[in-house]
Amino acid sequence: MIKPDLSQEIPAELGAVHFVGIGGSGMSGIARLMIDAGIPVSGSDAKESKGTKALRERGARVSIGHAAENLGDADTLVVTSALWPDNPEYLLAKERGIPILHRSQALAWVAGRHRLIAVAGAHGKTTSTGMIVTGLIELGQKPGFVNGGVISALGTSSASGEGEIFVLEADESDGSFLLYDKVVALITNVDPDHLDHYGSVQAVEDAFVTFADEASELVVISADDAGAIRVSERLGAHRVLSFGEDVDADVRLHSVETGDNVTFQVRYLGNDYAGSLLVPGRHNALNAAGAFAVLVGMGFAPAETLDAIARFGGTGRRFELHDTVRGVSVYDDYAHHPTEVEAALTAARTVVGEGRIIAVHQPHLYSRTQLMAGEFAETLERTADFTIVLDVCGAREDPVPGVTGALVSERFADPETVRYIDDWQTAADFMASIARPGDFVVTLGCGDVNLIVPQLLDALARETQAPPAA
């Protein structure tokens, strides 16, 4: 993969912009905003998707497959950290000497004309961003936003907005979240993730301190997460609101009841306020407390703010129900870290009733799988009734000898509760052979594991009785 040059000066005028990987949720969202701003947009992607089709309908020139001629007469190129350095469009842009911007730089250009709320953290960013956007809209605002997933009720991951407020999900994975000129920073948690970029836990926390210190008006940060607490202790003279279940949190979450709906109380400035959510899981009550802290910190009334957040209906790939076949419900979740897996499956447990949870886990990145195979195994074995482990989605990384999904399955204490199956159709057929009415099947991973969902549903519809996989 290429390392983004975050020192690249962002031009005041971008001219015609070409996106490599335009179909992704983040890139397509930025492309839509540029189209709305009247900028000529083109792009390429490896395969056709809803995102590429929607952008064509809005006037973008989109090519499937990567080739130098796709660059056309673009004045600016936008790329992601997942781009390989031999990409022909990237090489031609370098040869021409046109500005090459990382997606975060393009997003900074789009958001730079607004009062910016930036949401960062190892987990919960997309949901927290969606809750803030939903809350603002229900409170009568018209924010612009770019989120890492589609906000279900709005049917989009981005919008230009009409007001002065802009909300974005800030990606800390490569340090690019430090680009944004923000008035409010929300930090959901600070887990030791993305060590392939940062090199050490200390470097991760240093970056979050910088991210928070650069917020000009307000920092909202978890009072429960150990990493976030360490970051809090190092912050400068900011206005800081902490949130969580800790007794000393400025926004204290308590009385959480989980089930089909989540209810809870938050204590703020000595008063208790009642909240509820349409999305399941205790972790979502924590996300709501963070979103509440952002909005009341900006001056919105507490009771009205919780009522507004209650309208949030979820985001794509976050415990997203696709269909129910033969009484078996198939969900997809973006969880790709043990903490996220635990949150997703614990939420599923609150609503599955007498059914079982069958996890279909796609490990993401060879480096993360090698480092965290034991943690994934322990979490999956504890929170799911049965786990099917697929092979690793390497994404931007080259394969590492000996690192496959078997590295996770072999760490299970009880081998009868797990199968490693590297062929997707075999995995789908095996799932259908063990699932029974009332069960939840949950795909887990931030790679392309969501693409197995049609195979899972088809296998259930065919009532396949596959032999147990080896």
Q: What is the 8-class DSSP label of residue 275?
A: E
- What are the Cα distances from residue 44, in Å, to 18, 214, 366, 373? 8, 34, 26, 34
**From 76, 126, 127, 346, active-site residue:** 126
Selection from 400, 461, 402, 452 nearest residue 427 by Cα: 452
Per the residue annotation, which of 76, 80, 89, 169 is the catalytic one? 169
Look at strands 115-120 and 165-169 and give their pairing: parallel
CA distances from 76 to 109, 179, 369, 465 (A): 12, 18, 36, 53
Catalytic residue among 52, 76, 125, 339: 125
CB 404 within 8 A of CB 422: yes
Does 245 qualify as catalytic in the annotation? no
Is 169 one of the annotated active-site residues of the chain? yes
Distance from CA of residue 283 to its chain's centroid? 14
Dihedral sign of CA atoms 278, 284, 289, 295 in order: negative
**Distance, CA of 188 to CA of 122 (rounded, Å):** 7
How far apart are the C-alpha atoms of 421 and 409, rounded to whole Å? 10
Instruction: Give the separation between CA 79 and CA 18, rounded to whole angstroms.
Output: 9
Q: Which residues pair with 275 in a beta bridge?
A: 264
In the residue annotation, 126 being an active-site residue is answered as yes
Q: Which residue has the tokens 């007498």?
A: 354
Q: Which residues are catalytic?
A: 125-126, 169
